[in-house]
Structure 1
Amino acid sequence: MKPNNSTSKVWFITGASSGLGLEFTKTALNLGDKVVGVARNIEPLMELEKRYKTTFKSFKLDITERASVFETVEKAITHFGKLDLVVNNAGNMILGMIEEFTEDDIKQQIDTNFYGAVWVSQAVLPHLRKQKSGHIIQISSIGGILAGPMTGIYSASKFALEGFSEALAQEVSHFGVHVSIVEPGGYWTNLYTNMQFTTIHEEYSPVREFLETQGYESKDSHPKEAATALLKLINDEKPPLRLILGSHVFDAAIEHELSKIKTWKDWETVSRSAEKAIPQPEE
């Protein structure tokens, strides 16, 4: 059965040359949809351009460069005429103790995982607002829900992504535009193989040794599972603001939120006692 191209959607996917981004790209193309895939290195996408000559276009893009992002979005719209689905997938991971991070390490993490998504969202919104439709999908992480040792700056970038996206969703819903935050667990992608580490401070050796004794076992899946879940999300008439991907991280997220609620309740008396409304003081 051939895809119905009359109802095909146009995707804009960042980080499309590898990992989840590449899987999202292939899945959309196999459905008969049109895709603009952007990445710093588009060489892995050349085969797709040959195979899907009329439905796929790639552009080389560093999403941390705001002006380039706006230019590329305009090229994408010129090429296919519109955008329906925007997947902010590009990201990286640098692990280390907070004290070990250099200024450049922090900027690299925040620029890619947070600012890149902001620039893309800003660039596509005038077009989505005008057509009164569209869906922006922010690929966050379980690290956007909870943080642990060595994930501090990575989680900071994802917490920032989630906070801005939550506000954005409320702002653009008035124009018929949806925003969803997808929080994946582990998938077998090059996020791990390309993962970077800070220069170790020996003072933290005991902490690392302790972490090694915890016996954490990663629960990783094939990226196709994430792509299947993404299709269910975008095809829902009322897509959720947040969607967790994976049973292991789902349980971890629930446990984390229940712990937060317990702490709030334990300290409820102090919290409530800190509020005594008064008229505005005179200067």
Structure 2
Amino acid sequence: MTGANRGLGRAFTVAALAVGDTVVATARDPRSMSDLAEERLTVLPLDVRDREQVFATVAKAFDVTGRIEVLVNNAGYGLVGALEELTETQIRDQMDTNFYGALWVSQAALPHLRAQGSGHIVQISTVGAVGSLPLFSMYNASKWALEGFSASLADELRPFGIKVTLAQMGGFDTDWAKSSMKFAEAVPAYSAAREAILGMPDYPDLSALPSTEEASTEPAAEGEWVEAAPELAAVGLLALVAEPHPPLRKIIGPGAHQMVTMALDARRQDYLADPEFSWPS
């Protein structure tokens, strides 16, 4: 489990331990998990942006446990800002964490999973990987990219007995919308968009809050957040990994199914404007 120190990552770690599982959890600062004193828990330091460190940490995780049946890529954060407002550094860091981080961890684990002939990679995605939302372009892009490579990966790994699932999360009350969110520097021209989406003309000042590496929630509608306890998300994830034949895509969370329906219907309407296109029945 990457990004295990807060929010969904921590909730899933606690839930997995509660049912008797052995867990290897990673966080940039392992001291943030020092309160979880549990014999079946190993906490390793990891910055998922560092490919070399990722490969070394994944190898150590397999050495510690002997085999890993479920790999959860959870590390990530939300970046909010109109495209015009975002800096190159902000854009690259968003992709390095949310997209490349999951890619490096998946890539590092593959030889081990193939060798054991089993495994389940769970990519923590979002309903924002199905649709889109103004001011969330780079967050959406990072998750769309995650889903793109993961769908192909699922086909590549199926012959080896390894499963891949995209957990498309809805709204959960985690640090993603708080200390795990980063904001652009506001351009006045986009104040109306901020008001519509965030309910405020400017971005909030979160400079006093500590940063973290974890993401697992998504706006349920423009200007409205529907949040549930991350423990409920952990229940959904435990049920997912217990399925003998898990799906490639699994929607989890309040409001998530409705958002996916709306996003797919909007895409359907776009395609139906083409007289040569027939939507499959």
TM-score range, shorter chain: 0.7 to 0.9
3-state SS of paired residue (2:255)? helix
Residue of structure 2 equivalent to 1:112: 97
1:146 aligns with 2:131: yes
Give the structure with higher Rg (CA): 1
1:155 aligns with 2:140: yes
Q: Larger % of helix: which? A: 1
Residues of 2 paired with 1:215 and 1:238: CA distance? 35
- Distance in 2 (alpha carbons) for counterparts of 1:254 and 1:206: 26
CA distance in 2, matches of 1:259, 1:205: 25
Q: Name the residue aligned to 1:82.
A: 67
- Which of the numbers 138, 147, 152 marks the counterpart of 1:167? 152
Q: Is 1:241 the equivalent of 2:229?
A: no
SS of residue matched to 2:20: coil
Identity %: 41
CA deviations 1:109-158 (Å, max 9, x no partner) are 10000000000000111011111100000001111111111000000000
The answer as to whether partners of 2:171 and 2:254 remain within 8 angstroms in 1 is: no
Q: 2:116 — aligned with what?
A: 131
Q: What is residue 280 of structure 1 aligned with on the other side?
A: none
Equivalent residues in 2 for 1:127-276, closer than 5 Å: 127-194=112-179, 195-211=181-197, 212=199, 216-269=223-276
| Residue pair 2:196, 2:223 contacting (<8 A) in 1 also | no
* CA distance in 2 between partners of 1:156 and 1:215 (Å): 18
The separation in 1 between residues aligned to 2:83 and 2:152, in whole angstroms, is: 27
Deviation at 1:262, TM superposition (A): 2.4
How many residue pairs are counted as aligned between the two chains? 256
Distance 1:209 1:225, change over 3 A: closer
> What is the deviation of 1:41?
1.6
Give 1:33's aligned amino acid: D
- Corresponding residue number in structure 2 for 1:34: 22
Establish whether residue 93 from structure 1 lines up as the match of residue 81 from structure 2: no
Which residue type is aligned with residue 217 of structure 1?
E
Q: Distance in 1 between matches of 2:135 and 2:67?
A: 41
Hey, what does 1:103 align to over in structure 2?
88
Residue 24 (str. 1) matches residue 31 (str. 2): no
- In 2, Cα distance between the equivalents of 1:264 and 1:121? 34
Residue 234 of structure 2 aligns with an amino acid whose one-letter code is: A
Displacement of 1:215 in angstroms is: 6.9
The separation in 2 between residues aligned to 1:215 and 1:148, in whole angstroms, is 8
- In 2, Cα distance between the equivalents of 1:215 and 1:123? 38
- TM-aligned CA distance change 1:210 to 1:131, over 3 Å: closer
Segments of 5+ residues of structure 1 without an aligned counterpart are 1-12, 273-283
Counterparts of 1:247 and 1:43, CA distance in 2: 32
C-alpha separation in 2, matches of 1:210 and 1:170: 40
- Hey, which bits of structure 1, 4+ residues long, moved more than 3 A? 209-215
Q: Give TM-score, length-normalised by structure 2.
A: 0.87
Give a deviation string over 1:164-204, Cα, whole Å, max 9, x none: 10000010011000000001111111111121110011222
Contact residue 72 and residue 123 of structure 2 kept, 8 A:
yes
- Aligned CA distance change for structure 1 residues 188 and 207 (closer, same or farther; 3 Å): closer
CA distance, structure 2, for counterparts of residue 56 and residue 88 of structure 1: 17
Give SS of 1:225's match.
Answer: helix
Distance in 2, matches of 1:143 and 1:238, equals 25
Q: Which runs of 5+ in 2 are unaligned?
A: 201-220
Give the secondary-structure state (helix, strand or coil) at the position aligned to 2:62: helix
The amino acid of 1:40's aligned partner reads R
> Is residue 47 from structure 1 mapped to residue 39 from structure 2 by the alignment?
no
The two structures have a TM-score, normalised by structure 1, of 0.87
